């Protein structure tokens, strides 16, 4: 009902309360004038009385019909339900008697439930550890997260299936037993707790998902807030704790994008050797050269970085050479690179919780289309710098595509949602080549901190330059190599080197996943590379 929706948007706006008060006052004035007119008018005859009575009955029936249609139709509109919560003062109002449904993780652990002593209060056992994914339902501040997207089911006004239709009917006629439906998420409560503990007081995000079906096992953003008191987050504008950095934060991905560039090279059977001198590589005759991170380490130590010399793709990936990959990006060309970005869905908003009433959606990444002769832009984008911005969810997605043989599944937080394929990012043989490169990076390269015995982790570090402050630290990986069961992507804002700040967090999370049985029987499978 578009008209109802527009009315609800108006009444829920900043002037909604004043409009509602004015309408009530106008109604009372009209009622007083009508009664006064009846009392002061000349005495009517029998015919006029019958006409007046008939008119009043018709007006009453029309009013009742309108009210019934308004409420029955309105209960399918989240804006109407939100309006009634704020402005319906009746103590016996239906929305105040409905026991809101419970939110569970995939194992059945409670993530959100109604306080048995006060139906208006919600309890969140994980507290800040899951506040961005689970969200909140507050009588004054509304809903957020899964509480918002699943509001129709949780509050009992959804009609998406026969069970919910039956529940709505029972709630309508028996307020004493009115209850909403339960919702199950793909989250793992224990893994979520561990991620929150590992990040401590740092700012950043963690995404953990299943590469073969897109199920999100952990979605963490820091700083967090107390979902029992979301108003406290509103007062902290500088830290922005309400921002879900895992799906809404935009960051340069740094060297993690080399996963995609290496995959493109493998698809095109291109693995050239390039000379990588210590003073870097200039894609144009003028301008600042692109340098390896070792250059700056040596510079701080008062030494001169000699460079990697002539190297190939395997060595360059393991040691994350910017000089090599900037040259590789130019060799691959703008058309191939632009097509790769489109296949990876980086510039798209990703729906990770979909329902008939509400959805949860990520921010779209930003990778500008490279002009044919813009060598500097292409060289910068090939190492995850320049004007490239992505969310941690996007980085987890392209890592998952490699783990899944090149096919990408849409991330999902709703446990009962059917897996949806987003298409193929890389050909299977190219994905296998990148898997081998990522394994090499963990065994002998920048990702050695995550080389857990027997687990065969495949990963990639990332250190992304920022306009102000220290670099952002990234690490993204999957495990085990032979049968990938889990993807872990960690971002630490201004954490410095990915190998030092983000990789240890990923290692501890992988170990926790093993302890929780999330990797099944595969962790001890032999590694083909060894």
In 3D space, the residue among 481, 222, 33, 304 whose CA is nearest the CA of residue 291 turns out to be: 304
Intra-chain end-to-end CA distance of the chain, in Å: 62
Q: What is the dihedral angle through the alpha carbons of 215, 217, 220, 225, rounded to the nearest 10 degrees? A: 100
Separation between Cα atoms, residue 87 and residue 90, nearest integer Å: 9
Contact between residue 96 and residue 77 where contact means Cβ atoms under 8 Å apart:
no
- Beta strand extents in 375-469 (DSSP E only): 407-409, 421-424, 458-464
Label residues 139-156 b or e (16+ Cβ within 10 Å = b): eeebbbbbbbbbbbbbbb
Domain boundary pick from 26, 50, 84: 84
Separation between Cα atoms, residue 436 and residue 419, nearest integer Å: 27
The parent domain of residue 79 ranges over: 2-84
In a domain, 529, yes or no: no
In 3D space, the residue among 162, 170, 177, 12 whose CA is nearest the CA of residue 99 turns out to be: 177
Largest CA distance in the chain: 110
Q: Are residues 194 and 320 in the same domain?
A: yes
Separation between Cα atoms, residue 452 and residue 511, nearest integer Å: 8
DSSP assignments along 195-230, one per residue: HHHHHTT--EEEEEE-TTT-BEEEEEEES---TT-T
Q: Which residue has the tokens 């983000």?
A: 502
What total of structural domains would you count in the chain?
3
pLDDT given for residue 469 in this prediction: 85
Q: Which two tokens stand for residue 296?
A: 């700056």
Name 476's Cβ contacts closer than 8 Å, sequence gap at least 6.
256, 259, 395, 396, 399, 459, 460, 462, 487, 488, 489, 490, 506
Q: Are residues 262 and 332 in the same domain?
A: yes
Find the CATH number of the domain harbouring 284. 3.40.710.10
Separation between Cα atoms, residue 94 and residue 377, nearest integer Å: 59
Q: Is the dihedral of CA 420, 423, 428, 434 positive or negative?
A: negative
Q: Are residues 379 and 296 in the same domain?
A: yes
Q: Are residues 203 and 151 in the same domain?
A: no
Label residues 50-74 b or e (16+ Cβ within 10 Å = b): eeeeeeeeeeeeeeeeeeeeeeeeb
In a domain, 469, yes or no: yes
207 φ/ψ angles, rounded to the nearest 5 degrees: -125, 125
In 3D space, the residue among 207, 244, 211 whose CA is nearest the CA of residue 225 turns out to be: 244
Q: Are residues 203 and 155 in the same domain?
A: no
Q: Are residues 71 and 139 in the same domain?
A: no
Distance set, CA 102 to CA 105, 115, 185, 253 (Å): 10, 10, 11, 37
Q: Are residues 321 and 357 in the same domain?
A: yes
Environment class of residue 314 by beta-carbon count within 10 Å: exposed (0-12), middle (13-18) or buried (19+)? middle
Q: Are residues 376 and 481 in the same domain?
A: yes
Helix (H, G, I), strand (E, B) or coil at 462: strand
In a domain, 523, yes or no: no
Find the CATH number of the domain harbouring 117. 3.90.1310.10
Q: Are residues 285 and 400 in the same domain?
A: yes
In a domain, 254, yes or no: yes
Domain boundary pick from 84, 105, 126: 84
In a domain, 216, yes or no: yes
In a domain, 152, yes or no: yes
496 φ/ψ angles, rounded to the nearest 5 degrees: 90, -135
In a domain, 200, yes or no: yes
In a domain, 530, yes or no: no
Q: Are residues 255 and 388 in the same domain?
A: yes
Q: Are residues 64 and 175 in the same domain?
A: no
pTM of the model: 0.82
Environment class of residue 86 by beta-carbon count within 10 Å: exposed (0-12), middle (13-18) or buried (19+)? middle
Domain boundary pick from 149, 169, 184: 184
Q: Which two tokens stand for residue 442?
A: 């963990």
Per-10-residue mean pLDDT for the chain, 530 residues long?
56 62 68 62 64 68 59 53 54 60 96 87 95 92 91 75 58 59 96 96 96 98 95 85 96 97 96 95 89 92 94 97 97 96 97 86 97 94 96 98 98 96 97 97 95 94 90 96 96 94 97 92 58
Q: Are residues 507 and 477 in the same domain?
A: yes
Q: Is the peptide bond before 480 cis (omega within 30 degrees of 0)?
A: yes
């Amino acid at each position: 009902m578009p008209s109802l929706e527009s009315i609800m948007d108006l009444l829920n706006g900043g002037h909604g309360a004043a409009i509602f008060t004015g309408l009530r006052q106008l109604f009372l004035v009209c009622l007083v004038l009508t009664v006064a007119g009846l009392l002061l008018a000349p005495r009517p005859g029998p015919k006029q009385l019958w006409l007046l009575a008939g008119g009043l009955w018709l007006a009453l029936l029309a009013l009742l019909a309108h009210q019934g249609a308004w409420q029955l139709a309105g209960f399918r509109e989240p804006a109407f339900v939100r309006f009634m919560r704020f402005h319906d003062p009746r103590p016996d109002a239906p929305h105040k008697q409905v026991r809101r449904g419970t939110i569970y993780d995939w194992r059945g652990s409670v993530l959100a439930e109604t306080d048995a002593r006060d139906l208006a209060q919600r309890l969140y056992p994980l507290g800040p550890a899951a506040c961005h994914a689970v969200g909140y339902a507050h009588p004054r501040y509304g809903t957020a997260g899964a509480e918002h997207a699943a509001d129709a089911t949780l509050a009992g006004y959804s009609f998406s299936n026969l069970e919910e239709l039956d529940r709505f009917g029972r709630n309508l006629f028996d307020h004493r037993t009115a209850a909403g439906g339960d919702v199950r998420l793909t989250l793992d409560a224990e893994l979520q707790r561990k991620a929150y503990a590992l990040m401590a007081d740092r700012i950043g995000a963690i995404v953990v998902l299943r590469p073969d079906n897109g199920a999100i096992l952990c979605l963490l953003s820091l700083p967090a807030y107390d979902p029992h008191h979301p108003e406290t987050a509103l007062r902290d504008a500088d830290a922005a704790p309400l921002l879900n950095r895992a799906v809404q934060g935009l960051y340069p991905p740094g060297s993690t994008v080399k996963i995609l560039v290496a995959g493109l090279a493998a698809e095109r059977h291109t693995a050239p050797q390039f000379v990588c001198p210590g003073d870097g590589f200039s894609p144009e005759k003028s301008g600042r050269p692109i340098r390896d991170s070792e250059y700056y380490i040596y510079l701080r130590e008062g030494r001169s970085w000699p460079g990697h010399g002539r190297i190939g793709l395997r060595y360059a990936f393991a040691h994350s050479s910017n000089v090599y990959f900037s040259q590789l990006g130019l060799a691959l060309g703008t058309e191939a690179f632009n097509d790769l970005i489109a296949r990876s869905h980086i510039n798209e908003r990703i729906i990770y919780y979909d329902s008939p009433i509400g959805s949860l959606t990520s921010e779209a990444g930003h990778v500008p289309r490279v002009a044919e002769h813009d060598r500097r832009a292409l060289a910068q984008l090939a190492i995850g710098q320049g004007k490239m911005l992505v969310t941690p969810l996007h980085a987890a997605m392209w890592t998952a595509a490699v783990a899944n043989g090149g096919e990408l599944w849409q991330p999902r937080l709703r446990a009962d949602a059917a897996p949806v394929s987003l298409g193929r990012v890389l050909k299977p043989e190219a994905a296998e080549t990148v898997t081998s490169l990522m394994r090499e990076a963990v065994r002998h390269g920048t990702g050695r901190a995550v080389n857990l015995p027997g687990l065969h982790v495949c990963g990639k570090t990332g250190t992304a330059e920022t306009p102000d402050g220290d670099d952002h630290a990234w690490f993204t990986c999957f495990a085990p190599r032979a049968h990938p069961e889990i993807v872990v992507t960690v971002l630490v804002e201004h954490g410095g080197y990915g190998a030092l700040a983000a990789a240890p967090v990923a290692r501890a999370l992988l170990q926790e996943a093993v302890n929780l049985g999330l990797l099944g029987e595969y962790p001890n499978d032999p590694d083909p590379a060894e």
